[in-house]
Amino acid sequence: MADTDGIQDTHDYHLDIAQTAETFPLKGCQSLDWGMKNRLSHIFDPKTGRTVMLAVDHGYFMGPTSGLERIDVNINPLLPYANTLMCTRGVLRSLIPPTFNKGVVLRASGGPSILKELSDERIAVDMEDALRLNVAAVAVQVFIGGPFETQSVHNMTQLVDQGNRYGMPVLGVTAVGKELARDAKYMRLATRICAELGATYVKTYFVEKGFETVAAACPVPIVIAGGKKLPEKEALTMAYQAVQQGAAGVDMGRNIFQSTAPTAMIQAVRKVVHENMKPNEAYEYYQSLAG
């Protein structure tokens, strides 16, 4: 029998305090359910509404990429500085300590290797496994204008349907083929299609001219991929320009883990993304940490 001794009358209703109605810090996400918002809060810092995602999923089509040969040695020491880790389930289970308690964005599409036509991807993770791994989102590549455009869009919409069922955000990753122009017009098209078809947030590439129109036309948060390795100052400048022009952060891989000082680089990227540190200052900060 429940112990009911000592139960007191309720009385403290704070009648003079209105119940708070917090606004969610991410654009286009107000109408999402609690579980979806809670997962997004493991990706985007609720204080800044921005994220530094550390992308290390390259092996799913490239094999042991330079800088990712030993994820346990090279990447795990960077985890304290990332808001989120983006990786495959193989790496997650075999190399990432389960005590890592920030968000994980799980690579959920795949199929072809660099030896084949890259856009011919399928869904590569069951939603049940993503839930079992307790990840914060799943990521799927979308190849707008590619030879398997419809298949890749269908991969995303299937994951969106499953994600909506279970409260799992879906990151639509706009992939650019060699034959496609990397300009604002293309990025507007690709990111908007992802958002319209249900992606919770979208990853794209930064473009020098007109990125603010890409961010403005996309109704959900946008993060930028780092792309190929650049000199550190250029990569910090790109991150700065992207967040100033409307990106909600970066999903950066090679420009962090292929840096000569990855731990210093990720901390400098954090300063740019979360504190709006200017590129010159961030580069000095990088140099001071890199010694």
Summarize as ranges the residues that interact with ligand 5RP (CB under 6 A).
Answer: 55, 57-58, 86, 173, 225-227, 251-255
CB 87 within 8 A of CB 57: yes
HSE-CB of 247 using CA atoms within 13 angstroms: 32
Calculate Rg over the CA atoms of the chain: 20
Instruction: Check 37, 116, 203, 228 and give the catalytic one.
Output: 203
Distance CA 257, CA 266 (A): 9
Whole-Å CA distances, 1 to 4, 5, 7, 80, 189 = 9, 11, 14, 47, 63
**Helix axes 279-290 and 232-244, enclosed angle (nearest 10):** 140
Active site includes 37? no
Nearest-approach distance from CB 231 to ligand 5RP, in angstroms: 15
Q: Which amino acid is at 166?
A: Y
CB 156 within 8 A of CB 132: no
Tokens of 37: 């918002």
Catalytic residues: 203
